[in-house]
Chains A and B, each alone.
Chain A
């Protein structure tokens, strides 16, 4: 489900060889925040459409065309934010005055360093560069090399 919601490959979010185990960490954390029944409802809604293309899954669960998204959609929003930014944002709590909302908390150091937003900009988290001296004077690799599902891979 997270792959569909985020636009990344599921093999990136939850590889078979997974030293960090973020998918599990995020699932358990979200559960503590939204509760079992809300999570089950969201997972159920996902399962009902899981054979659809990933973009359809994302737009459906996030209710992107709905000007007043439901509480369930807001939970899905927080799950997307968690993957992108490594922090839990309270569902429906928006920013203002030119500033983003403050998250409830950063989930962990590894959540921060594995945030998808840094991959989506074809870079690395501020504070953790896996690259070497001078890389910044050259163009980065293509977006697909950062794990974005630009092809027609299946959602999960």
Chain B
């Protein structure tokens, strides 16, 4: 049950919690995605382990955002951010729209992505399309947060858009087990068990496990491009009126949030890393102290708490095709119960930015910060169901303000409702009520 403790019992100095005694390994500018966390901590405590996980998160972020070559694969000859911005590895993963096709059609890794449902001026083949339009059953609308809690609307009245992509390892498992269709899921013999990543060991190379990425995007003006990783994409919305046509437009979108989940040997409940654009929102402490930036992606520093209550869901109906008069006023509430989470993320952010700026002082990647990494402290063993299915995660609660805006209660956060990656994802099933190994994407099958 206590796998990590068994691994490191030999290094145990004291069973009591200690503040961080030794520094973790450095973050590296490398295109190689870590197969797992590399624990170098010398004592067994959350304070000692968290930095190792945060290093893993940054190494993963850097590798996933590494530039690609003309074949869409990572290009080790290039450097991340060398030209300011770059097309990334994860954007060449498979969008789940193109995995779970109409009629449960068999997907292919390299097949053409679905085109926009209506013609769009300026559309080029291969361009990303941010949409989920039409009557696909049981689907998360890509302009609304999970379980239809509500959309996130920026300071210009535009809806934030969401996108989920999976790597080849995860795709292959779905393909090989026919989980891309309802029919295939019906006849599958459980359990669903995505491939675990692992560190290099001896002569065995590192293995990349199943990785799923969830990105949140905001409409930006081309003049803002230096501050964001940005892409020109087609953005589609459901029809304004029932029976009408979907609305699709070419837009420049800036990345504002990135969730990375990776199934690894040391985490049968997956490792969960989340990054945000540095200008998304003030923290609740910033708001209390009045220490505010002049401008945020999702917060108006000039609006009072009365007129703009924090983290309020926009009133229905939600019409992503139209510019909204309601703007979300987002505040990042502190959901952490231990100081190490913020302290470690902050230290790793500083280290990472130094590296990134060393490549190019105008690197757009300097605009992204790690919030934290959630990891199971009692993780079980890749496939086996542990005694505590949730694995006692640390931190106990974690939210990305762009992706879990409305589940950020902090005074204190509440078990089973406030944002907690592993808790929530443990409820995930396929279209049949079989647990789907911590991913909700399988319920998109048609």
Contacts and interface: CB of A to CB of B under 8 A. Distances in A.
Given A21-B337, A132-B426, A133-B435, A109 B412 contact: yes
B42 to A, nearest CB: 13
B269 to A, nearest CB: 10
A18 B4 CA distance: 13
Interface string B421-441: 001001101000111000000
Contact of A108 (B49, B378, B412, B434): B412
Given A130-B390, A145-B387, A16 B45 contact: yes
Interface in A96-116: 108-110, 113
A15 B5 CA distance: 10
B88 interface: no
Given A130-B388, A132-B426, A133-B435, A20 B396 contact: yes
A128 interface: yes
Interface in B313-366: 337-338
B184 interface: no
A128 B4 contact: no
B183 interface: no
B201 interface: no
Nearest to A113: B415
Nearest to B337: A21
A127 interface: yes
A141 B423 CA distance: 20
Nearest to A19: B394
A136 interface: no
Contact of B426 (A11, A113, A130, A147): A130
Contact of B435 (A20, A132, A145, A146): A132
A35 interface: no
A19 B2 contact: no
B393 interface: yes
Interface residues of B, dominant DSSP: loop
A134 B432 CA distance: 12
Contact of A132 (B378, B394, B429): B429
Interface string A1-44: 00000000001000111111100000000000000000000000
Contact of A17 (B4, B389, B423): B4
A145 B49 CA distance: 25
Contacts of B189: none
Contacts, number: 70
Nearest to B16: A16
Contacts of B423: 130
Interface in B375-414: 377-378, 387-390, 392-396, 412, 414
A18 to B, nearest CB: 7
A16 B11 CA distance: 13
Contact of B427 (A16, A18, A132): A132
B304 interface: no
A53 B338 CA distance: 34
Contact of A11 (B2, B4, B412, B429): B2
B46 interface: yes
B49 A19 contact: no
Contacts of B389: 130-132
A130 to B, nearest CB: 5
B416 interface: yes
Contacts of B10: none
B44 interface: yes
Contacts of B429: 132-133
Contacts of A146: 387
Contacts of A141: 387
A17 B4 CA distance: 9
A127 B394 CA distance: 21
B399 to A, nearest CB: 16
A17 B415 contact: no
Nearest to A127: B416
A145 B45 CA distance: 23
A113 B416 contact: yes
B15 A16 contact: yes
A16 B44 contact: yes
B275 to A, nearest CB: 21
A17 B391 CA distance: 11
A76 to B, nearest CB: 24
Contacts of A134: 433
28 contacts: A11-B2, A15-B2, A16-B5, A16-B44, A17-B4, A17-B5, A17-B46, A17-B377, A17-B378, A17-B392, A17-B394, A18-B46, A19-B338, A20-B396, A109-B414, A109-B415, A113-B415, A113-B416, A127-B416, A128-B416, A130-B388, A130-B390, A130-B423, A132-B435, A133-B429, A134-B433, A146-B387, A147-B387
Complex A-B, nearest 10 residue pairs according to Cβ-Cβ distance, in ascending order: A17-B377, A19-B394, A145-B387, A133-B433, A16-B44, A132-B435, A113-B415, A130-B390, A130-B389, A128-B416
Given A113-B415, A128-B415, 10 more contacts: A16-B15, A17-B46, A18-B17, A18-B377, A19-B377, A20-B337, A21-B338, A132-B435, A134-B433, A141-B387
